[in-house]
């Protein structure tokens, strides 16, 4: 029998310390094409949770959304927001970033357009050019930006555990 304390799941092993991402790893992970789940607090204290595509504005994750959306109404009342970006099909491959922070709602058309370009490029994979302006403008019509100001990150990357491949995919 092997000593349980010698494995990532054994007694005394701080698995949390083993799987944390560095800031560089966080930036790389968030820079990839993924969906972000965003949670805000409804007027009755329940959680409003939505999946959103996101881009970057002034170095921060940000999303464009309808000005009259439930998430914007919630954030105007209480700017707290928690977002989750994750991936992995088996335990040994799970990784993610939870962003705990507060939202800055931006209504300036130039800054909304700047984020629109970021989201457009991320969703299409194409570099923005002026002939794409009409598409970006249509995408951001009647929208605001929710810029996420990070208070803290919670991260995990189970690939760091060195576990055997647990996927059932062939």
For the CA atoms of 148, 34, 50, 60, the dihedral, rounded to the nearest 10 degrees, stands at 10
| Integer Cα distance of 17 and 25 in angstroms | 15
| Integer Cα distance of 134 and 117 in angstroms | 11
What's the confidence (pLDDT) of residue 164?
80
Q: Coil, strand, or helix at residue 167? A: coil
pTM strictly above 0.75: yes
- Of 117, 104, 99, the closest CA to residue 145 belongs to 104
| Integer Cα distance of 84 and 156 in angstroms | 11
Hey, what domains does the chain have and what are their CATH numbers? 14-158 (2.30.110.10)
| Residue 11: both structure tokens together | 């007694």
| Residue 26: both structure tokens together | 């966080």
What's the confidence (pLDDT) of residue 1?
41
What's the confidence (pLDDT) of residue 11?
54
**Full pLDDT tens readout for the chain, 170 residues:** 444 444 545 555 677 788 999 999 999 999 999 999 999 999 999 999 999 999 999 999 999 999 999 999 999 999 999 999 999 999 999 999 999 999 999 999 999 999 999 999 998 888 999 999 998 999 899 999 999 999 999 999 999 988 888 776 55
């Amino acid at each position: 029998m092997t000593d349980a304390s010698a494995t990532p799941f054994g007694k005394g092993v701080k698995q949390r310390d083993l799987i944390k991402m560095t800031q560089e790893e966080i930036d790389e992970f968030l820079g990839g094409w993924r969906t972000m789940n965003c949670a805000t607090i409804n007027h009755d204290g329940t959680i409003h949770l939505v999946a959103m595509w996101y881009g970057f504005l002034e170095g921060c994750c940000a999303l464009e959304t309808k000005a009259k959306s439930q998430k914007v109404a919630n954030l105007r009342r209480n700017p707290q927001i928690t977002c989750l970006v994750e991936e992995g099909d088996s335990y040994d491959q799970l990784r993610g970033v939870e962003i705990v922070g507060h939202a800055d709602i931006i209504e300036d058309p130039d800054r909304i357009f700047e984020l629109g370009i970021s989201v457009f490029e991320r969703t299409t994979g194409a570099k923005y050019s002026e002939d794409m302006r009409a598409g970006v403008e249509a995408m951001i019509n009647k929208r605001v930006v929710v810029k996420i100001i990070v208070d803290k990150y919670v991260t995990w990357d189970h690939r760091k555990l060195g576990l055997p491949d647990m996927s059932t995919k062939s």
